[in-house]
Structure 1
Amino acid sequence: MSMIHDKTPLPDLKDWRFSIDVEDIAWAVFDRVDESVNSLGRRPLEELDAIVAKVEELSGQGAVQGLVLMSGKDNFIAGADIREFESFDTEEKVKEVLAPPLELLDRIEKLRVPVVAAIHGYCLGGGLELVLACDWRIADREEGTRIGFPEVKLGIFPGLNGTIRSIRQAGPLNAMTAMLTAKFYRPSAARAIGLVDQLVPTRHGLRWAARKAVLKKRHSKGASWWQRLMQLGPVRSYLAGQMRKQTKAKVREDHYPAPFRLIDLFEEHGGDLKDMKREETIAFAPLMVSDTSRNLRRVFKLSEMLKAEAPKQEKGMNAFRPLRVHVIGAGTMGADIAAWCVVSGMQASLQDLSEEQLEKGIARGQKLFKKRLRGKRDQDAAKARLIADPQGIHLPRADVVIEAIVEKLDVKQGLFKSIEGKLKSGAVLATNTSSLKLEDIAEGLTDPGRLVGLHFFNPVPQLPLVEVVRGEQSREEEVRKACLFVTAINKMPLIVRSVPGFLVNRVLAPYMMESVAQFESGQPREKIDQAAEKFGMPMGPLELMDMVGLDICDHVGKTLGLAPESDNTLSRLVKEGKLGKKTGEGFYVWKDGKPQREEAEYEPEELDRLAAELMKPLLDEAERARDEHVVENGDLVDAGVIFGTGFAPFRGGPLHYRETQNAQKSAVAA
């Protein structure tokens, strides 16, 4: 291919590089300055506007053959810059801010010459809306390339005419599914549904493929005629009804209105895309300024804050790169930790005194591989990386050693003393204890500063948080290496002090014990769980306790001094061997993995009152945890409780929720 020459430079660009090669193809490379990720903010859009204006001028003179949009980073465009969203405080302001980029995308669509998007890495949200305005989209097949609309997770839907362009390109069913599920599609899946037109094996083929697409004047045909039939009145109404039904099965409309407003928009205006284009902004603006969207954006920032707990990986001989993990204890938790490390690309050896337990642990891991990994080749490779190791032969080679055995102090102390001398230099030594003090476990170690806590939550594959426990004796370097390990297995690390219950169990336990007290006072179990779900919890507290195991909940309650001194329902059920889902009966009887509930409806006001009583102990304990600096600050309390317990994300976290409630009461009183 010809060398690129800056025949027509735009000298003031900071976030884009613009050039025209000897074949008169214009190249716009997005490489946002001082940012690790490309996102669409005010300046990048203004600079893209200048590039489009230049191409408009030159195409009018016959001086360019086409325009190619590429990225200079490892991602294409991760979406809009949500840092700028906070200034959009009124619906009118939202409409005013949206007008220029909406016009810009229309101009890209109307350029006289072909516009080609060459996609490597994440192409999400506003980035996908931009490429849908292009004539032709090429993506590489590399593992890191993903395409999708994550907007509903932020309480909005695509607002740069992505709704109509995706429907035009992929058809109503595919486009609406992509927007409603917020799914990240692999390149081949994105091509199959019509969001991408062409694939190349690697990023190295993108430039050549884009050049050919320009020279051949490629133009996407869009959705097929039979897909477009779904836009017709009766079919569209039926489709909208099915989408509404499926969405209601996942989320409540009063908690997450965005997907329901998107379905309304499609049902009312999807038959005429010009109408839908106009109405998109009208429906989008109130969502953007809503409390739900503001709180969900806060949750996104909290997730980014947790990921930043791990230090930037240093380069050179001393870099810590965890590749091998050794887990001691093949129970449910230990087996799941080992298997999850394997799913994340590592090798994991699993040690246990019981041969039978070890076999169960390996079988459990293989079930996870079938669920999480695509294709037999990847599953077979994972099976080979999960090693049964009854003698602990692999321990001296491990980069991370995690103990997940019985919660008995003397047993743990004995184990750590026996393995300390076998560890390789620089390996992380961790305990998954949920109730014992790290300082006590570390007694007797030659180097107690080496021990940290890695507290996983059950089920390990689903819950994104890991508490990284810093004991009084733990060295900072070891804590940071533990955080690096947590991010390497695609989890979020939360550094917590070594106090009873750490953060998550400490905050969750009073809420659970309050639900037991409410049950003992005569409140029906269904009413208690419905109240919590109406508040926004992923499941009710009694069902949750049954899922976790009533023996574990009782142990945590006693450890934290929360269980009533006199006999109570929880301890009684434990004594009777009714431990919840795992034994088939607890607060509920369980059949086929589901709790058997009695049908019952309650007044919304009653449920709200009961929810306030249930949540009060949780909110109180969250404040105490903040004041006692269990974690570094209040934002991290909110992050830990959201990602560790599933606390209603649309409420922005327990501390944020209480502050919001207090502010509203003050405003009413004034």
Structure 2
Amino acid sequence: MHFKLTSDQYIATLTFDRAHTSANTFNEEVLLELESIIDGLKKSPMLNALIIVSAKPNIFIAGADLNVLADASEKELDHIIRLGQRVFRKIEQLHITTIAAIHGACVGGGYELALACDYRIATNAPSTKLGLPETKLGILPAWGGTTRLPELIGLSAALPLILGGTLLPSKVAKKRGLIDSVCFPEQLNQQAHRFTKKPKRRHRIFAAQHNILSLHFIKSQASKSLYQKTRGHYPALLRALDVACKGVLSTKQESFDQERRAIIDLAQGIKAKNLIQLYFATERHRKLRIGNAAPLKIERSSVIGAGIMGSGIAHWIAKKHGPTLLKDVSEEALAKGMANIEKLITSEVKSRRTSQVDAAHCFDRITATTEQVSLRRYQLIIEAATENFELKQKIFTKLETQAGDDTILATNTSALPVTQLADSIKNPKRLIGIHFFNPVSRMPLVEIVKTKHTDDATLNTALCFVQKLGKFPVVVNDSPGFVVNRILLPYLVRAGELFEEGHAPELIDEAMLDFGMPMGPLRLIDTVGIDVAVHVATTLATAYPDRMRVPKILTTMHDKGLLGKKSGSGFYHYRTGKIQANTEIQPGTSPLSSKQKIQDELAALMSNEAQRCLNEGIAESAADIDFAMVMGTGYPPFRGGPLTHATTPS
């Protein structure tokens, strides 16, 4: 049994508590049980209202069981979609008032059930989020969501939520009309009972939007915007747009049929399958542990080095975890680091990603010092100094005397060998790499680099710490460049060589934007910094001299002080506000390749290097490598990652 039905004389409460799992999700068994209960309620003439609640602590309903969708045949998928639509339609057509009393995540099929109710109440708890994220999985809401949300709030308000797959906190959801009331968690039952006195809901008429003329304009504008953002790579968005626009002029059953046909078509496609597998990988890395060793509890952490990376890491720890010490030997460097943190916090307040109160708390959690303070009270120390191996050795030798016996010592190096630092400390079991990507506040991936000495307790402590920061850890073995930089470097090197051969930077970058990368390779080099690119390239060229090298163009630009965006000029000019190709450096004059050939060559380089990493055991699995590249570089999610792409028929 997954549901418990209780009632007094006039009001029934249906509690969803799916057995043997921490989440409420729908599969055929659950939907059939729900249908049986709803059919029974039709025979209860004394009832006035039904309240639907969840027994799970932080989840109302998390939607469909994706394991079912991922493995379903076309016939099975048709059956489960028809079943869900039928059950939710029965809820909608109940003769009594229905209320969804929402606490915790209410997403996908969960919110589609809520839409089938007359009223929706949600708590203001941080865990309460609402929305329809299906398009992010390459499908669309097909249990009535694409039909009912425009009916509730109008097509123009519904489309950004359906197409964006946006999840909203309850207060924002209330403002946008997705729910009717927000309350404290302890008031949810009382508030739900107030709504039982309301009559069945009558939907608004959106005559100004839901007519042929307005629909043509709305759809054409949305189509244009989608193509600009996605270059046509995400068919689910266009199908969802089409179904939603047709739905407002169709009967409800006709619209449901359009939803069903669309999701069956989309779910059979490779793009949806790749996106769903990426979702599974995301969930795995949220909870990843190695072996049975328990992680140590991190109460205090310290970051050594107040540069861009060090200050960025300290800011994120203070925001997401707790008190942190930012340490540097230079007063000037420390002042710049704190200024960077202030800039990051101010930006978050301006963009409303954090409140003034939370911003003040974040700043207060950071202690900055140049003093030789004891670090024995700190359970984790992250070194984020300049990428200089001798300097890092000196830092770790000193940390050995300052830290506690159980303190975990981590380095944020992006390419240098972590194992060699073990010679600097007495207990190498507690040494680990925790490689954040720049900018720390935006990049979701962290590479957890284990050496041959690292024990499971240290490894799991690092994993747990990174997960608490809201990041996704991927465990990799120590090797030059680890996974992401090693795979990315041949791609960036060849892009530089293509420029040397005569290809305009816009052509090279445009080719990879068409492939689905979020940024072209030359723009990426400019953003990372020519100096950083030269350093990483030199490190990897030393390790793999047979196939990696430093392009001459990069050393030339470095010597000229053309360091990319940070200096105002690199492959492009950035000083005027309008990004233009830099005329100070000229491409070569060799015969040119087409965009398609450039795309194929650069993509193949990433796939080939990814295969080498897998063969050498740098990561545990192909799925880990693909996940790291998607999360660490923005490799097109719909392609699944460089290894999946290499084995996918074109």
Name the TM-score class by shorter chain.
over 0.9
342 and 241 in structure 1: CA distance in 2 versus 1, 3 angstrom threshold: farther
Matched, 1:569 2:553: yes
The DSSP-based 3-state class of the residue aligned with 2:230 is coil
Write the letter of the residue equivalent to 1:20.
T
Matched, 1:480 2:460: yes
Unaligned runs of at least 5 residues, structure 2? 583-592
Distance in structure 2 (CA, Å) of the matches to 1:293 and 1:566: 38
CA contact (8 A) 1:531 1:608 kept: yes
Q: Which residue does the alignment assign to 1:40?
A: 26
Q: Which residue does the alignment assign to 2:366?
A: 386
Distance in structure 1 (CA, Å) of the matches to 2:551 and 2:147: 61
Displacement, 1:23?
A: 3.9
CA contact (8 A) 1:310 1:487 kept: no
Write the letter of the residue equivalent to 2:198.
K
Q: Which residue does the alignment assign to 1:298?
A: 277
Q: Which residue does the alignment assign to 1:28?
A: 14
Distance in structure 2 (CA, Å) of the matches to 1:221 and 1:367: 49
- 1:453-464 equivalences in 2 (<5 Å): 453-464=433-444
515 and 399 in structure 1: CA distance in 2 versus 1, 3 angstrom threshold: same
Query: TM-score, with normalisation over the residues of structure 1?
Result: 0.89
CA contact (8 A) 1:118 1:207 kept: yes
- Determine which of 612, 619, 630 is the counterpart of 1:631: 619
- Determine which of 456, 478, 481 is the counterpart of 1:498: 478
567 and 155 in structure 1: CA distance in 2 versus 1, 3 angstrom threshold: closer
CA contact (8 A) 1:579 1:586 kept: yes
CA contact (8 A) 1:469 1:496 kept: yes
Q: Which residue does the alignment assign to 1:3?
A: none
Matched, 1:647 2:631: no
- 1:377-416 equivalences in 2 (<5 Å): 377-391=357-371, 393=373, 395-416=375-396
250 and 399 in structure 1: CA distance in 2 versus 1, 3 angstrom threshold: farther
Displacement, 1:567?
A: 6.9
What is the Cα-based RMSD across aligned positions, in Å? 2.4
The DSSP-based 3-state class of the residue aligned with 1:159 is coil
Displacement, 1:481?
A: 0.5
Q: Which residue does the alignment assign to 1:542?
A: 522
CA contact (8 A) 1:328 1:403 kept: yes
1:461-484 deviations in Å (ceiling 9; x for gaps): 111110001011212210110000
Query: TM-score, with normalisation over the residues of structure 2?
Result: 0.92
232 and 68 in structure 1: CA distance in 2 versus 1, 3 angstrom threshold: same
Distance in structure 2 (CA, Å) of the matches to 1:366 and 1:70: 43
- Determine which of 201, 212, 217 is the counterpart of 2:194: 212
Displacement, 1:570?
A: 1.3
CA contact (8 A) 1:465 1:643 kept: yes
Moved more, 280-289 or 297-306: 280-289
Report % sequence identity: 33
Q: Which residue does the alignment assign to 2:154?
A: 171
CA contact (8 A) 1:171 1:228 kept: no
Q: Which residue does the alignment assign to 1:618?
A: 606
Distance in structure 1 (CA, Å) of the matches to 2:610 and 2:309: 26
Q: Which residue does the alignment assign to 2:302?
A: 326
210 and 658 in structure 1: CA distance in 2 versus 1, 3 angstrom threshold: same
Distance in structure 2 (CA, Å) of the matches to 1:295 and 1:567: 34
Q: Which residue does the alignment assign to 1:601?
A: none
Displacement, 1:337?
A: 0.8
Matched, 1:557 2:501: no
Distance in structure 2 (CA, Å) of the matches to 1:256 and 1:53: 39
Moved more, 646-655 or 303-312: 303-312
Displacement, 1:220?
A: 4.4
Displacement, 1:415?
A: 1.3
CA contact (8 A) 1:543 1:595 kept: no
Write the letter of the residue equivalent to 2:449.
V
- 1:96-115 equivalences in 2 (<5 Å): 96-115=79-98
Distance in structure 1 (CA, Å) of the matches to 2:258 and 2:244: 10
Moved more, 227-236 or 95-104: 227-236
Distance in structure 2 (CA, Å) of the matches to 1:444 and 1:457: 25
Displacement, 1:392?
A: 5.6
222 and 588 in structure 1: CA distance in 2 versus 1, 3 angstrom threshold: same
Displacement, 1:596?
A: 1.1
1:11-62 deviations in Å (ceiling 9; x for gaps): xx1x22x2323344322222222222222222221221122122122x2x42
- Determine which of 596, 619, 624 is the counterpart of 1:608: 596
Distance in structure 2 (CA, Å) of the matches to 1:51 and 1:312: 43
Distance in structure 2 (CA, Å) of the matches to 1:220 and 1:388: 57
597 and 55 in structure 1: CA distance in 2 versus 1, 3 angstrom threshold: farther
Q: Which residue does the alignment assign to 1:602?
A: none
Unaligned runs of at least 5 residues, structure 1? 1-12, 599-604, 665-670
CA contact (8 A) 1:310 1:493 kept: no
594 and 242 in structure 1: CA distance in 2 versus 1, 3 angstrom threshold: same
Distance in structure 2 (CA, Å) of the matches to 1:43 and 1:321: 40
Distance in structure 2 (CA, Å) of the matches to 1:269 and 1:71: 30
- Determine which of 323, 327, 345 is the counterpart of 1:369: 345
Distance in structure 1 (CA, Å) of the matches to 2:405 and 2:209: 63
176 and 323 in structure 1: CA distance in 2 versus 1, 3 angstrom threshold: farther
Distance in structure 2 (CA, Å) of the matches to 1:89 and 1:636: 27
Distance in structure 2 (CA, Å) of the matches to 1:397 and 1:221: 62
- Determine which of 158, 182, 186 is the counterpart of 2:169: 186
Distance in structure 2 (CA, Å) of the matches to 1:112 and 1:580: 66
191 and 330 in structure 1: CA distance in 2 versus 1, 3 angstrom threshold: same
Write the letter of the residue equivalent to 1:265.
V
Distance in structure 2 (CA, Å) of the matches to 1:279 and 1:19: 33
Distance in structure 2 (CA, Å) of the matches to 1:368 and 1:93: 49
CA contact (8 A) 1:170 1:222 kept: no
